[in-house]
Structure 1
């Protein structure tokens, strides 16, 4: 009788070929997770860690609702595979505030009424925190004047803020208030800390970096 067993190449992937164990440092807390290789960082945060502040909007990297900070740099978590972030430091909206109170950006958003339905707000806040760090580090954007000194902190004018935040959509149209709120936070004496070192080994705030450069 002819064998009905499938040929070796049709027996499916070997054990462990579709899942890996990684450690994600989320908001300062290490989490060891065994995840399917197809799991996005967004789904890992929401479905595996219960951090639902990060929102799923378009799921195609076009709206910015899922923005988080990865090693201090903003990124669309729906486009990142979680297994590629082993050892990385992630900051979500839940990690922006600290024991002292709300993050200056959160306070400014409330004071300026920079949201309506609030669905995009977590991504706006994380993206704005990334913008403050990028500007402090001297990273130019499309509208930064050609006369700007290379590597020097970039002044976040309204035009700079609008350009740098253009990847975060607000379907309620709260853009004018969002720009004002970020401008308020820029002038805040206690700049927001965002994880700047790789692997969660420390954070350097915008304020500290400005002091070091002065």
Structure 2
């Protein structure tokens, strides 16, 4: 699948001046919600991602996503893998498991996001379910911002900003590598532009 084309055709690859969840600025933003609003396309993307995961031979018993952004991608992926799905959510800024969801001892859980940037939210989610006795077997996303190393990808990079557990695989359909800037050194800010946050937090 041509993931870049799919995002462009869905108007999910935005151009402008954006504030990312990491606090950095960029002239590009991935809005996976625009892709996932098409159920048929969401299913096809999840099928492709599930195939990559199945080919890796890791065992998955449950998919867990951090709310809100990862819920649709995680649910579709769980459906394609034939496993159950749960999600974590923030309560008073702290990630937690609610709504009667249960974690079984040593259950093999895959953490799924719509987009992986630094992996901060995915790691918050992972820590919650690990604290309840689960075993994290990997991470997955439709798109990877290139800060973390994708499974079987050999692109050069030091990945110092990646917060994911480097001992576990990251599965994604594509790397989207865009320039990002610290707010103090952002050329767009210096031109007088104001960064906006179009994602699920702060909007």
- For Structure 1 versus Structure 2, the TM-score category normalised by the shorter chain is under 0.3
Higher share of residues assigned helix: 1
Higher share of residues assigned strand: 2
TM-score if structure 1 supplies the norm length?
A: 0.25
TM-score if structure 2 supplies the norm length?
A: 0.26
